[in-house]
Structure 1
Amino acid sequence: MNQYLYCRAGSEVLTVRAPGMAPWQRGERIELEPKRESVHLFDAATGARLP
């Protein structure tokens, strides 16, 4: 089972998939260290996935 976290980094909003049910609460500050090979970027205007 995965959990989806909606995070704000400055003015950007990130959607993060975390394994299992993490103990984080709404509004709590967390540190993220993304795996480069697992990052997916999308064009804000079109929604198309970027290479």
Structure 2
Amino acid sequence: MMDMVGMAAALVATHATAVGSLDLPAPVQLVAAVVAGFGIGLVAAIMGVAGG
């Protein structure tokens, strides 16, 4: 339950205030995107919601 409250608070904070962005080089963005995508896919597979 507290996880949901934390996510809701994060969404409210990002919509109510100006949040800056990171100015990362393209190769760093690529690595971060691949790692994030793998992590999201792993969690989806564990939860049983991965398509395929």
TM-score (norm. length: structure 1): 0.19
Q: Which protein, 1 or 2, shows the higher relative CO under an 8 Å CA cutoff with sep ≥ 6?
A: 1
Structure with the higher strand share, 1 or 2: 1
Structure with the higher helix share, 1 or 2: 2
TM-score (norm. length: structure 2): 0.19
Between structure 1 and structure 2, the one with the greater Rg is 2
